[in-house]
Amino acid sequence: MELSQFAIKSALSSFWDGTEVLLYDEVESTNNLAKQELSAGGKYLIAAAAQTRGRGRRERSFYSPAGGLYFSLAFPWGKKETPVLVTTMAAVATARVLERTFAIEIGIKWVNDLFYQGRKVCGILTEAIREPESGQNISLVLGIGVNLLPPEEGFPEDIAEIAGAVTDGSLSINRNALIVDITNEIGEIISQLPARTYLEDYRKRCFIIGREVVLDTGKHILVEDISDNGSLLYFEGGKLQEISSGEISLKEY
């Protein structure tokens, strides 16, 4: 089903009132485009059927062929919750919707990757737009990319061992409904702040809790839990330590 501005905009919850919906057949990156639009202020939902230069964390490329789900939300942010915490909100919202829609079980690899049957099927990128003088976050750009079905030509060799899709391609998929449902779910979580009860859903799905992981520094840690700030918790020297940013890896992934 093709993307429809009317179908998306008319079904957004009141939380997203005033959001401008912009749709494209192909863009370099919906996050990049959202940041450009934010220069005029306001709220935006930007979706594309394909991306030529999709991005993940640390400027890593995100393979974005036609057939996936790629969209970004850009909106003012005057709350104290950090971009990392907003990423956990989006992860829970997206996992809930994918599970309801496709009757599957989604796992979360801290902080921003969703997995299905041991393969990555979704990436999330949250970027803060800061006020130059104060350094305060004034807006956020939240990008979500989901592999809905396997690409006809297969995944590129460098990600073929890890990438997967939420369906086998035999199902009829309503991308408009998915965008709306995920966006509305994110809005519902944000509207409940400062309560962070959604983090229980994050912890239940986070398959690295209780496992040894390797940090990007090469350090090995045993993950104890996820904090209420979305950070990794682990013990070192008899004290509970916290990591709020960085990359982790497991031997299996």
Q: Per residue in 8-50, pLDDT tens?
A: 999 999 999 999 999 999 998 999 999 988 877 789 999 999 8
Instruction: Report residue 133's pLDDT band, with 50, 70 and 90 as the boundaries.
Output: low
Question: Are 227 and 130 contained in the same domain?
Answer: no
Query: In this predicted structure, what is the pLDDT of residue 199?
Result: 97
pLDDT, tens digit, 9 for 90 and up, residues 123-132: 999 998 876 5
**Are 126 and 153 in a shared domain?**
yes
- Same domain, residue pair 162 and 61: yes
Average pLDDT over residues 55-60: 55
Look at the chain and report how many structural domains it folds into.
2
More confident residue, 129 or 71: 71
Assess contact for 97 and 182: CB atoms under 8 A.
yes
Q: Which residue in 45, 73, 113, 89 sits closest to 194, CA to CA? A: 89
Q: Are residues 160 and 238 in the same domain?
A: no
- Which position has the token pair 């997206």? 94
Predicted local distance difference test score (pLDDT) of residue 169: 81
Same domain for 132 and 44?
Answer: yes
Domain C-terminal end among 171, 190, 205: 205
Co-location of 139 and 233 in the same domain: no
pLDDT at 134 over 80: no
Q: In this structure, what CATH number is given to the domain that contains residue 82?
A: 3.30.930.10
Count other Cβ atoms within 10 Å, centred on residue 76.
14
What is the domain extent for residue 233? 212-249
pLDDT of amino acid 61: 58
The per-residue pLDDT for range 105-121, each reduced to its tens digit, is 999 999 999 999 999 99
